[in-house]
Amino acid sequence: MKRMIGTGLLVAAAAFAAGAAWAQDTVKVGVIFPLSGGAGPQGQHIAESLDAMATMINDKGGVMGRKIELHVRDDESTPAVGVSRANELIGEGVEVIIEGWNSPVTLAMQPVIARAGILDITAISKADPILSGEGNPLAIRFNSSNALDGAVIAKYIVDQGATRIAFLTENDAYGNGAQASIEAALNASGHAYEIVAVEKFPFDQADFRVPLSTVKAADPEITIAINANEGLGMPALIRQASRSRLPGTLVSAVGTVAPSVIEVAGEAANGVVGADIYFPQVEPFASNPVNQAYVAKMQEMHDRTPDKFMALAAAALQVWAMAVEEVQSFEKEAVANRIRGGSFTGTLLGDVTFQPNGQLDSNHYLFTVVDQKMVVEQ
Amino acid sequence: MRIVLWPAVALAILAGPWLLGGGGAVFSAFVLIAIFATMAYGLDVIVSDLGEVSLAHPVFFACGAYATAISTTRLGFGPVESFLLTVLTALAVAAVIGLVTLRLREFVFSLVTYAVTVVAMTVAANWAFLGGSDGISGIPLFSLAGWQARTDRELWPVAWALLMGAIYLVDAFRRSGLGQRAMTVHLNPELATMSGIDPLRTRLQVFLVSAPITAAAGWLYAYQRAYISADVLETYFLILMLTAVVLVGRRMLLAPLIGTALILMQEKFLSFGGYVDSIVLGGVLILVLSFLPGGLAGLARSGLKMARRGG
């Protein structure tokens, strides 16, 4: 009996030592995205993408010799829940948090994460106040900004010579900011136009028949749909717009129509125009060996071709790991200052540069949906 | 007995985070439970004592959050001044809502108060003075007399004091003449009138007691979150406080606290995701309101009675 107890204690001690060694050999990375609800599918794909990138980094020895351990949480697209999840991750001792699908959730989480002294990298959320420095003085964002996106959509409108414009806009920090930036860019271009209808809706709305009938009655040449609810709202909007025989062209705000949206919207998506900053099979990404390795890893691990959202989140983890290696520290300020205003070569997005305010520079590519595929204008 | 028991319970709650390991996540959970329970205590007074279901209480919560956000970021107010402004704002808004809904009962009262919340959300999301859809950021740390609460661990004593204050106020209200008049108006309005109680005046007074309690929760939430936007008026908060109030049982002093703790624990440890959690919370609310008027406590009492009969 004594021998059994002795052996048990020995095993327990060994297990404890192994656990302690594992904890020493890993670095905790917090991940907060919606994993349920309207944007749940996209958030789950992002988690898969980070898993693939973490595996790629770990296969090469990890970050400063430590393996990445992802701690993934669901913000449920609700600011209050996002703040709770951020507090949980802070309590678990993560070194960095990669977050952000909904701008209101990001804006709510930023001060909490910043006060805890943890590096906060926003992957997707677009609202301009995210980079204002009020919530997070060391903000970093990978997705393109509303201001850049607005210029691209405005240029498309000018090139088409369209003058009657309608907006279907998500009524929150992201949606209103996106609409304001398109209008600002149009005004700056000197193009004469008229806003014939503006319909606003909450993030979780899925029935657009009433706003669409109002927009249809205004007879627009271009209707701009600004809806970050890619899992539910955007496909529903596209389908209902098609059924209502909305006149003119339906233009989606930059980055709101991914292949997953087209998959759900089906044939109704044909003819939708949009713009985005990453396409895995299109140059300059297609010939980038790092991107090729990432795409192959995603297919190997999750049987999925990455879209822009997945690629941006993976790039966030990759750039953070590169910065940590370069400054040889996990310390927030050192890493953030290396990224903000800095450049990196050999990322899955190619060679990238960040503005001093933490915004990643990116190029936009226009596309039209033809036969449920995104046909990119080169 | 009461003199010994309540201080012991209060001290046990204060020591709770340390007794549970003292980790950062534990302190954060306790701070949130204290804030949301305080929010629910304000509604508890209306639901349990006045017998009405107010769906306007997120507005009072938002009053506290916005009054604090605006006064600290634009006027440089400290916690004491922002707290006073919170109470005054809540009283003013409660007086208006109370007067408008004075003669309404039950379903119509609930419907009108819900409309108030919907209007408030639209206003908050679109009015630049309230930060519009961007909200208000840059709310400073909770600082009092040179002391700053940089983390939830440091904020916990404040949250605990707020919670204890809310519990004390509700207890004092129930022992007061107003509390007894409210119950009379609730249970038998005709008797109340015959006894010389003015039901309309009593209802308004109860509203004025209830609103600052919920608003005080919004006051501390603004400091804890450091950012306030129209999301504080979302149905998440309404369903949370309603369920917290009815889950354990009405007119039980610790029921809103236990209810809030149970809901947040479910959200943290047994979450099924955004939509499913909403269905679970809404389902629990329907179940309790329809079949368990005594809440979980009533269910436990019935179970005990049956067990005794069986024994």
List the beta bridge partners of residue A183: none
Q: Do B236 and A34 touch (CB under 8 A)?
A: no
DSSP A165-187: EEEEEESSHHHHHHHHHHHHHHH
Q: Do B226 and A177 touch (CB under 8 A)?
A: no
If pLDDT is split at 50, 70 and 90, which confidence band does B212 have? Answer: very high
Q: Give the closest of B24, B225, B273 to A91, CB-based.
A: B24
In this structure, the number of other CB atoms found within 10 A of the CB of residue A91 comes to 18
Mutation site for A-interface testing, chosen from B126, B227, B267, B278 by largest number of A Cβ within 10 Å: B227
Q: Give the closest of B26, B133, B139 to A172, CB-based.
A: B133
Q: Which residues of A touch B141 (CB under 8 A)?
A: 115
User: Is the pTM above the cut of 0.90?
Assistant: no
Overall residue count recorded for chain B in this entry: 311
The residues of A whose Cβ lies within 8 A of any Cβ of B are: 34-37, 40, 74, 76-81, 83-84, 87-88, 90-92, 104, 107-108, 110-112, 115-116, 127, 129, 132, 134-135, 171-173, 175-177
Inter-CA distances, A233 with A77, A256, A319, B125, Å: 13, 10, 31, 19
DSSP A109-121: HHHHHHHTT-EEE
Size of interface A-B (CB pairs under 8 A): 114
Can you give the pLDDT at residue A15? 47
pLDDT tens profile B178-209? 998 988 888 887 888 888 888 888 988 998 99
Largest CA distance in chain A: 91
**Angstrom distance (rounded) from CA A53 to CA B158:** 42
- The distance of A90 to chain B (nearest Cα, Å) reads 7
Residue B87 clears pLDDT 50, i.e. is over it: yes
pLDDT tens profile B134-156? 788 889 999 998 889 988 899 99
**Angstrom distance (rounded) from CA B278 to CA B281:** 5
In this structure, the number of other CB atoms found within 10 A of the CB of residue B174 comes to 17
The two three-digit tokens of residue A138, written as one number: 């060391």
ipTM: 0.74
Search chain B and give the residue with CA nearest A92. Answer: B25
Q: Which residues of B touch A132 (CB under 8 A)?
A: 137
Q: Which domains does chain A have, with CATH numbers?
A: 26-144+287-353 (3.40.50.2300), 146-276 (3.40.50.2300)
Q: Which residues of B touch A110 (CB under 8 A)?
A: 137, 227
Contact indicator for A67, A89 with CB cutoff of 8 Å: no
Q: Do B273 and A78 touch (CB under 8 A)?
A: no
Please check whether residue B148 touches A, CB under 8 A: no
Q: Could you give the residue ranges of the DSSP H alpha helices within chain A?
A: 2-25, 40-59, 79-91, 103-115, 146-160, 173-189, 209-217, 233-243, 259-265, 289-302, 308-327, 332-339
Q: Could you give the residue ranges of the DSSP H alpha helices within chain B?
A: 2-19, 24-44, 57-74, 79-100, 106-126, 152-175, 177-187, 189-194, 199-225, 235-247, 255-269, 274-291, 295-310
Q: Do A81 and B135 touch (CB under 8 A)?
A: no
Search chain A and give the residue with CA nearest B134. Answer: A173
Q: Give the closest of B26, B137, B141 to A129, CB-based.
A: B137
Contact indicator for A141, A131 with CB cutoff of 8 Å: yes
List the beta bridge partners of residue A69: A28
Helix axes A40-59, A308-327, angle to 10 degrees: 40
Can you give the pLDDT at residue B303? 84
Highest mean pLDDT among A139-148, B71-80, B277-286: B71-80
Residue B250 clears pLDDT 90, i.e. is over it: no
Q: Which domains does chain B have, with CATH numbers?
A: 2-310 (1.10.3470)
Task: Return the H-helix or E-strand segment holding A226.
Answer: strand A222-226
Q: Do A80 and B273 touch (CB under 8 A)?
A: no
Q: Do A115 and B150 touch (CB under 8 A)?
A: yes
Can you give the pLDDT at residue A16? 46
Please check whether residue B24 touches A, CB under 8 A: yes
Pairing verdict, β A222-226 and A249-252: parallel
Burial group, residue B103, by CB count within 10 angstroms (0-12, 13-18, 19+) = exposed
Can you give the pLDDT at residue A11? 46
Q: From the first residue on, what is the mean pLDDT of each consecutive set of 10 residues in chain A (378 residues)?
A: 47 47 77 88 93 96 95 90 89 92 91 92 90 88 89 94 95 88 94 94 90 94 92 92 93 89 92 90 86 94 92 96 95 95 93 94 89 84
Contact indicator for A196, A166 with CB cutoff of 8 Å: yes
Q: Do A79 and B226 touch (CB under 8 A)?
A: no
Mutation site for B-interface testing, chosen from A128, A132, A170, A171 by largest number of B Cβ within 10 Å: A171
